[in-house]
Amino acid sequence: MNVFEAVKQSVTTRQVAELYGIRVKRNGMAVCPFHNDKNPSMKVDKRFHCFGCQADGDVIDFVSRLFGLPVREAAIKILLWLLKSNVLLYLYNHI
């Protein structure tokens, strides 16, 4: 399994969007951070799709666009967050 597959199987676009402060409604709709959006036009779940600007992709594409990173760096950014989260969870449960 490569880093891209590991990331895509471990976290959803919705989880990452919420991590970076994007409010996702119960129906999975959010205000798109990729264009001047006032009403929720982006569907966010395992993948994302904006009906306003047509931005579309998986969790790695989302982070890549959000931070202006190449996809490899975006995947590593997510992977590091996952590792940090798991270490903190482990410490919380064992202290």
> Cα-atom radius of gyration of the chain, to the nearest Å?
14
pLDDT value at residue 69: 97
Per-residue pLDDT of 50-83, as tens digits, reads 999 999 999 999 999 999 999 999 999 998 888 8
Query: What is the average per-residue pLDDT within 31-50?
Result: 96
CA distances, 30 to each of 14, 23, 75 (Å): 10, 6, 22
pTM of the model: 0.88
Average pLDDT over the chain reads: 91
Other C-beta atoms lying within 10 Å of the C-beta of residue 80: 10
Contact between 69 and 61 under an 8 Å Cβ cutoff? The reply is no
